Structure 1
């Protein structure tokens, strides 16, 4: 008895599911960008591939994290602008405000520890160096974000990884 060959998924359902779940992260960022900001104790850990197509930010920052970076949106973020295909945000690194733009397709993890909500995505392919977007330097005269309530901290996500 001959077996039928495996059926090929010509619809690419896995990619469609990944895009739909990234829509959850986009909707959460849109709520966070609203005038009332993040509700309650919600906050986000967003991990993304720094070498993915469309990621932009200061060269010194992106070169420090050549593969992957995790940012925290809780108390110290400004100018959050979620668009249709990417979001931009200003964060402080070493006391200096730096603007990042991240395509939703570059996100590999979206975590809200206040409710233990985690989305994990397949990593996008790395973009060739010539396809990466050059960062736009902000003028030095631009006002710095208001003083933060507490100093920024770097967080290791090892405690959240499944073992």
Structure 2
């Protein structure tokens, strides 16, 4: 959750404080809180809202909706509205981002998306569990999404 908050605040100290505040809030109100959806979703919405409130309190606004772009990219990577040239730029940027990933994560991503290996095949090839493969792919997706936000914003602003 601290990493998620960092995506909004770009400040580890404030991100840690916000997450800690959320847990204190939940602890103090544990008797009265009724979460009807997923706990994970509830927590991440709380982090997002608290981050946005913090940014607002220090007079930082997001008129270009840059912070919302991460959510847009994460929902489906729907690139249909982009030209072939823009898609090529995004694809090449993804390849560059993959090259910057940590060693094992980069290997797992390449095996999955470039070589089309299945999870079990990747686990056998890399000597890790299938769950580790899934975790590494999830983390890689988050890193790629976060890194692509600025590229997509630039492409959208030039349309």
What TM-score do the two structures reach when normalised by structure 2? 0.26
Give the structure-1-normalised TM-score.
Answer: 0.25
Q: Which has the higher contact order (CA 8 A, sep 6+)?
A: 1
